[in-house]
């Protein structure tokens, strides 16, 4: 039961996750953090993964790069296909070649990812040289060339006066600048896919706007595909053309940005949209969604959202819904709509 858009529709997708299931061993029991996550991202596509705390979006991102410590995490089933190959079947050496060079990741807090005792130049050059190792053919890059490339990268991420600023230490940069440096580092291996996990959550609003614009520009200039993870639908909407909404370990709705806001189908998506405090107009006080995120050690049977769903019925308590295509490119996991035909 493939829940992703068929491969023939758009050419082979860059990234395709199918029914990924991951468990975590904890003191109190086994936590079923991911319960069948499926999504796909095409070349030069931008996909936003949206959800609240505990929904599993960060875990999904880390799973792609196999960054989860494998105990206590355990990948139970499913596949993560990148450019046709299943990343879950790759060995450590092969994964290292993928990380940074094919897929790069940017995290939330730039300060903890930059070594405070080395200059930006040293760190960038190290990364560039490291990515160059294992490159087939030609002579390895010299440190001088790497430095030039580093300066060029800083220019690409719009850091002013990169030739001078490259010699600075991380603490001399502001938060927004550091995030740009991290993005530069991520781009140094010329990856095809950039995963950004809450990249702007720690930044001020005006700086966030700059970084989001930079992301949009980079997507255009470098033919980059982006997987953007955020709890903020506004952030995701400003960068991504596709959105996947996650709840308690599953993707409950997967569609284009326009479809999501114009025609949200899943009750969780609807609840989420209606509980956002929108800035643009002051409408009536939003409701919020009743209840709380379920305990993933003892998750609810059937559809994990049913205890909070205003439209739940008997079937929802018993069976997990399969993904169904409502309209072209718009998939939902909800029993309310499984009656509709797969062609929308």
Reference 181, options 99, 131, 118; nearest CA is: 118
Give the number of other Cβ atoms within 10 Å of residue 319's Cβ: 13
CB of 212 to another protein, least distance (A): 7
Q: How far is CA 87 from CA 79, 95, 137, 202, in A?
A: 7, 7, 25, 30
User: Which residues, other chains included, contact 267 with Cβ-Cβ below 8 Å and sequence gap of 6+?
Assistant: 305, 309, 310, 311, 334, 336
Which run of H or of E encompasses 92?
helix 92-98
With contacts defined by CB under 8 A, name the span among 88-96, 116-124, 230-238, 312-320 that binds another protein: 230-238
E strand intervals along 42-176: 46-50, 73-82, 85-86, 103-106
The pattern of x and - marking residues 248 through 287 that bind another protein according to CB under 8 A reads: ---------xx-xxx--------xxx-xxxxxx-x--xxx
309 counts as binding another protein under rule CB under 8 A: no
Q: Name the residue nearer to another protein (CB basis): 251 or 272.
A: 272
CB 330 within 8 A of CB 256: yes
For residues 227 and 229, give the distance between their C-alpha atoms in angstroms, rounded to a whole number: 7
Q: Name the residue nearer to another protein (CB basis): 74 or 213.
A: 213
238 counts as binding another protein under rule CB under 8 A: yes
- The interface with another protein within residues 172-211 (CB under 8 A) comprises 174-177, 204-210
CB of 310 to another protein, least distance (A): 13
CB of 70 to another protein, least distance (A): 18
Residue 256's DSSP bridge partners are 242
The pattern of x and - marking residues 22 through 61 that bind another protein according to CB under 8 A reads: -----x------------------------xx--------
Residues that bind another protein (CB under 8 A): 27, 52-53, 160, 174-177, 204-210, 212-213, 231-238, 257-258, 260-262, 271-273, 275-280, 282, 285-289, 292-293
């Amino acid at each position: 039961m493939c829940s992703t858009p068929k491969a023939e529709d758009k050419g082979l997708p860059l990234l395709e996750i199918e029914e990924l299931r991951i468990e975590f061993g904890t003191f109190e029991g086994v936590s079923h953090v991911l319960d069948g996550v499926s999504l796909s991202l095409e070349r030069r596509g931008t996909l936003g993964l949206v959800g609240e705390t505990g929904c599993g979006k960060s875990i999904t991102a880390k799973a792609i790069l196999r960054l989860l410590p494998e105990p206590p995490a355990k990948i139970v089933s499913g596949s993560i296909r990148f450019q046709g190959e299943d990343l879950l079947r790759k060995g450590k050496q092969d994964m290292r070649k993928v990380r940074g060079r094919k897929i790069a990741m940017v995290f939330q807090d730039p300060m903890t990812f930059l070594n405070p005792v080395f200059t930006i130049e040293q760190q960038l050059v190290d990364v560039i040289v490291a990515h160059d190792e294992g490159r087939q053919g030609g002579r390895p890059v010299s440190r001088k060339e790497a430095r030039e490339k580093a300066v060029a990268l800083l220019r690409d991420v719009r850091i002013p006066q990169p030739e001078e600023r490259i010699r600075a230490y991380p603490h001399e940069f502001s938060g927004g600048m550091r995030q740009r440096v991290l993005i530069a580092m991520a781009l140094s291996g010329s990856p095809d896919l950039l995963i950004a996990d809450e990249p702007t959550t720690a930044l001020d609003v005006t700086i966030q706007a700059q970084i989001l614009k930079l992301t949009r520009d980079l997507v255009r200039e470098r033919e980059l595909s982006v997987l953007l993870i955020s709890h903020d639908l506004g952030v995701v909407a400003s960068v991504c053309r596709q959105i996947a909404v996650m709840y308690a370990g599953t993707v409950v709705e997967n569609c284009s940005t326009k479809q999501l806001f114009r025609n949200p189908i899943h009750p969780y998506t609807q609840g989420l949209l209606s509980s956002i405090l929108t800035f643009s107009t002051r409408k009536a006080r939003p409701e919020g969604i009743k209840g709380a995120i379920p305990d993933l050690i003892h998750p609810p049977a059937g559809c994990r959202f049913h205890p909070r769903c205003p439209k739940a019925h008997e079937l929802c308590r018993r069976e997990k819904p399969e993904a169904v295509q409502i309209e072209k490119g718009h998939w939902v996991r909800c029993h309310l709509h499984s009656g509709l035909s797969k062609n929308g």
